[in-house]
Amino acid sequence: MAAGPPPSLPRLTFLLLLAAGCLLLLLPTNNAARLPLSLAPDAADALLKLKSGINDGGGALSSWSPGTSPCSGGDSKWAGVMCEKGAVHGLQLEGMSLSGKLDLAALKSLPGLRTLSFMDNEFAGPMPEVKELSGLRAIFLSGNKFSGTIPANAFAGMGWLKKVVLSENNFSGPIPASLADVPRLLELQLNDNKFQGKIPDLKQEELKEVNLANNELEGEIPASLKSIKPDMFAGNKKLCGAPLGAKCEATPPPSPSPALKAPLPTSDKAGTSPSPPAQDAAKQEAQKPAEGFTSYGILAAFLGTLAIAGVAFVALRKRRDSTKNFGPVASTTRSSGPKIEPHPPDKAEASAAHVAAPGAAAKATAGGGGEERSSRAGGSTARKVDQGRLTFVRDDRGRFFELQDLLKATAEVLGTANLGVCYRATLTSGHSVVVKRFKEMNRVGREDFEEHMRRLGRLNHPNLLPLVAYYYRKEEKLLIHDFVPNRSLANLLHGEGRGLKKAVVHWSVRLKIVKGVARALSYLYDELCMLTVPHGHLKSSNILLDASYEPLLTDYALVPVMNQSHAAQLMVAFKSPERKQFGRSSKKSDVWCLGLLILEILAGRPATYDLPKAPAPATGAGGDLVTVVGSTPEGEWLNTVVDPDLRVGEDEDREEMVKLIRIGMACCEANVDSRWELKTAVDRIEELKAKERANEDQSFYSSVDGEEDLNNDVGIN
């Protein structure tokens, strides 16, 4: 056969062109990460689109302006933007009082985005859609006002996600089932919400940190979570099984319906099954009585519910209209309560008129009641209202005073701190108590607040100032402690200003104070291990001293009931380096505060908790004290760092001081992974010693200007 023109040549050319075209189509997909940044979508446009839906009344995002770039190499030019190699790596917009809508779809054009933190703001509404940001490693949304049910597939396809923190919101409904399918999940915090239903079976092997406390979950805890601490499930009254130790009740089998009881028609032949038409007829006959039964059952249940609701409504009306005396059982009604009015700074004493119920018509009476005029249905009627009552939380203390005793007490303003106003109330019996008035505690409801107060009432340690009682009202809360005549550690170390006394405390007393604080902090970590920050506000002004200079910690464990935006601004644990670096606190945030406190006690200089805006030197970050100590050679610490008033003559004590400074610096380490664990710090502190000297006064006082009497007693701050 004669050979013709080779037909394979056009085909070969076509196939080569087709292969080249396919290669060009695949190139952008395979090398998308390698594209130069100049060809990538504009990160500034994406962030500005996100900002357009955010309400920024405080101007926290004022640096986000068109025509500028959010990143310059590894440095961020926009507030809250985390940069890496010139690209946006994460957003840390926390504690900025932001609200509005989070349109995360605008961030899909940022392929390098790995972490999002919007903690401690005022965002509300449903859960933002995050599943389209499949490259995320961490999501922090705690401390906002998000609410509603999270879709079951909210986290579907997020194969790289490691940390999900949604705590302290108002989420409800079931826990999203898609969380069980996130393969790399390491940490899940859903505490302090209103999640309902059963806990999904979370079988991720690397999942070690789970917090589901204070929700409305029920049923048996899955076997995959039985190694989690029991405190991580606290506050869910219907949970059972390990590790809680609560036995799960067996679910009774459902009773057969009338349809199942109805006899089926049989065939004419014994031992044979009915024919298909006969089976259909049997099903229809069986369904008829079931349908009738269901209709009557629904009607009966509906009428019964109406009857119960009517009885409850009548009982509630009677209860609200009656005036209650103070009794041995805590009242659960929401009612007006006492209001201790602030006094001008130049007036130390206040009469009982300053301790009264709010409102012009409220009058304090011996029974603790009051009168209030209210308008209902167009008419104005006078009625008695219950001012509420104090709730005592200590099992070892009786009810030694009532609310009306506070109303008649003489009130003295002790000070106005970041978290509230502090008063000394002297009862008619002569007993004095300290009343702390908080306004920034309306984040949690009454039931959650009271449960946390009962938890604090069970704490018992010689270096903790115990909570005696509390008063709950939606607008403000009163916490009541015993009065301690000595002033705070801050007053002891620094005095109150020019012309006022400053204590010269010997090394043995300073070491005793440090040990007492460390022991109390360790106790809080053991008893409140469900809290990320068990203290939260550890500083010298929150440490009182008894007659023997034993420290008494105050204002502890208030983070769960504080408004998170205010906590982020006011509480010192929220100023730790990890908050700035990662947008969240850690179990070591209190350790950082302890380190600063140790340096303050030794140096006699106030600690600075606000981190410097400029990059800190390699010696550490955490305030002037850390910078000074870190930049001073260790051989010069005793002459340069230690308080000049701290006179020490023994070489043994000098060596112990240097050891304590080392401990303080290890606790202040800016890198949270390098910072010491609390147990390590406490063990090292307990090893320190101070040489006892006979007939040595524990402290004496010198005035700042040398004109004060050295023998005056110390008051309270």
pLDDT for 612: 54
Name which residue leads in pLDDT, 493 or 35: 493
Among left, alpha and beta (phi > 0; psi -120 to 50; other), residue 38 is alpha
Does residue 510 share a domain with residue 420?
no
Is the pLDDT confidence value at 180 over 70? yes
Measure CA 261 to chain center: 55
CATH number assigned to the domain comprising residue 69: 3.80.10.10
Domain end point (choices 216, 240, 264): 240
Does residue 503 share a domain with residue 478?
no
Does residue 125 share a domain with residue 57?
yes
Nearest to 181 by CA among 153, 220, 211: 153
DSSP secondary structure string, 554-621? -S-S-GGGS-HHHHHHH-GGGGSHHHHHHSS--TTHHHHHHHHHHHHHHH-S----SPPSSPPPTT--
Does residue 519 share a domain with residue 461?
no
Host domain of residue 161: 41-240
Does residue 336 share a domain with residue 225?
no
Residue 252 in any domain: the answer is no
Question: In 10 A of CB 585, how many CB atoms?
Answer: 25
Q: How much is the average pLDDT of 365-385? A: 33
Residue 106 in any domain: the answer is yes
Domain end point (choices 207, 240, 273): 240
Could you tell me the pLDDT band of residue 446, with boundaries at 50, 70 and 90? confident
CATH number assigned to the domain comprising residue 592: 1.10.510.10
Does residue 425 share a domain with residue 514?
no
Does residue 551 share a domain with residue 625?
yes
Does residue 338 share a domain with residue 217?
no
CATH number assigned to the domain comprising residue 439: 3.30.200.20
Does residue 440 share a domain with residue 505?
no
Residue 705 in any domain: the answer is yes
Does residue 635 share a domain with residue 621?
yes
**132-148 pLDDT per residue, tens:** 898 899 999 999 999 99
Q: Is the pTM of this model over 0.85?
A: no
Nearest to 420 by CA among 347, 469, 489, 480: 480
Name which residue leads in pLDDT, 421 or 148: 148
Does residue 386 share a domain with residue 403?
yes
**pLDDT > 90: percent of the chain:** 34
Residue 20 in any domain: the answer is no
Residue 425 in any domain: the answer is yes
Residue 434 in any domain: the answer is yes
Is the pLDDT confidence value at 386 over 50? no
**pLDDT > 70: percent of the chain:** 67
**90-114 pLDDT per residue, tens:** 998 988 899 998 889 889 888 889 9
Question: In 10 A of CB 412, how many CB atoms?
Answer: 17
CA dihedral 273, 279, 285, 291 (to 10 degrees): 120
pLDDT for 503: 60
pLDDT for 188: 94
Residue 271 in any domain: the answer is no
Structure tokens at 303: 């009428």
Among left, alpha and beta (phi > 0; psi -120 to 50; other), residue 412 is beta
Question: In 10 A of CB 104, how many CB atoms?
Answer: 21
Cα dist from 347 to 208, 342, 411, 500, whole Å? 54, 10, 11, 19
**456-502 pLDDT per residue, tens:** 999 999 999 999 999 988 877 899 998 888 778 988 888 754 434 45
**525-541 pLDDT per residue, tens:** 999 988 889 999 999 99
Domain end point (choices 240, 264, 290): 240
Q: How much is the average pLDDT of 495-510? A: 65
Nearest to 357 by CA among 442, 483, 446, 475: 475
Count of domains in the chain? 3
Is the pLDDT confidence value at 302 over 60? no
Is the pLDDT confidence value at 175 over 90? yes
Does residue 492 share a domain with residue 414?
no
Residue 612 in any domain: the answer is yes
CA dihedral 121, 125, 127, 129 (to 10 degrees): -100
